[in-house]
Chain A
Amino acid sequence: GQQVMQIPQYQHVQEGEDFTTYCNSSTTLSNIQWYKQRPGGHPVFLIQLVKSGEVKKQKRLTFQFGEAKKNSSLHITATQTTDVGTYFCAGNDYKLSFGAGTTVTVRA
């Protein structure tokens, strides 16, 4: 069955630095979604990527979908304390499969 792997599991970032989290699927995806979960909260939809090689930006967040539609990345520039939380990718094959998430902490 479809498996979605996400790395790293934890990311400790100095405020102002950049970081990237990666998502890999064992199967070709029809689309991929990214969610953010703040501590104590629930996952909230961020974005969906559909096209091969697609790149989308949301302010300091850049999302990319691989050419083969099997991997994706989220890059955050100039990390702020508001970026704290867990970022999940979710690969959509015949159903949505969530990765384990990357939990981000920020050092002020």
Chain B
Amino acid sequence: DAGVIQSPRHEVTEMGQEVTLRCKPISGHNSLFWYRQTMMRGLELLIYFNNNVPIDDSGMPEDRFSAKMPNASFSTLKIQPSEPRDSAVYFCASSTAIDTQYFGPGTRLTVL
């Protein structure tokens, strides 16, 4: 199994720029989760999808963040415009239900 695939693995950008993070879940998994991890706030659930439909986006910090899942094999998390406080590791995870989650390797985002 390829596991959950995330790209890019590292992203350095300047404040104000648009950032797009990508995720390919494990084939056959119908739930997808986006998390943000920082030293200060730990692991935070941003949004999760079930069968490509956003179910709970209460963790999305503000309107600058948006997530889409156009099909079962692809999701994006977009930040526009980015700010230094968005610097974090962003994880995507997938599962067959609200069950065991398989995490991707993460994208380390640095906003200067």
Contact = CB atoms under 8 A, between A and B. Distances in A.
Chains A and B belong together in one complex: yes
Contacts of A95: 45, 48, 56, 98
Interface residues of B, number: 17
Interface stretch (A15-23, A43-51, A65-73): A43-51
Contacts of B93: 43
B41 to A, nearest CB: 9
A88 B37 CA distance: 13
Chain A interface, >50% SS class: strand
A96 interface: yes
Interface residues of A, number: 17
A98 B98 contact: no
Nearest to A88: B43
B91 A43 contact: yes
Interface of B: 33, 42-43, 45, 48, 56, 91, 93, 98-106
Interface of A: 33, 41-45, 48, 88, 90, 92, 94-98, 100-101
